[in-house]
Amino acid sequence: MIKVRRGELRDWADIKRLMIDFANFNPVEDLRAPKYSETHTDAVLQHIMTYGVMLVAEEHNRVVGMLLATIQGDLWLPNIKRMTEVAWW
**pLDDT tier for residue 10 given thresholds of 50, 70 and 90:** very high
Whether the pLDDT of residue 34 is over 80: the answer is no
On the CB side of 12, CA atoms within 13 Å amount to: 14
**Phi-psi domain of 48 (left: phi exceeds 0; alpha: psi -120 through 50; beta: other):** alpha
Structurally, the chain folds into a number of domains equal to 1
* Cβ(12)–Cβ(45) below 8 Å: yes
Which domain range does residue 68 map to? 2-88
**Mean pLDDT of all residues in 26-47:** 85
pTM of the model: 0.82
| CATH label of the domain that carries residue 81 | 3.40.630.30
Q: What is the pLDDT of residues 70-79, one digit of tens each?
A: 999 988 999 9
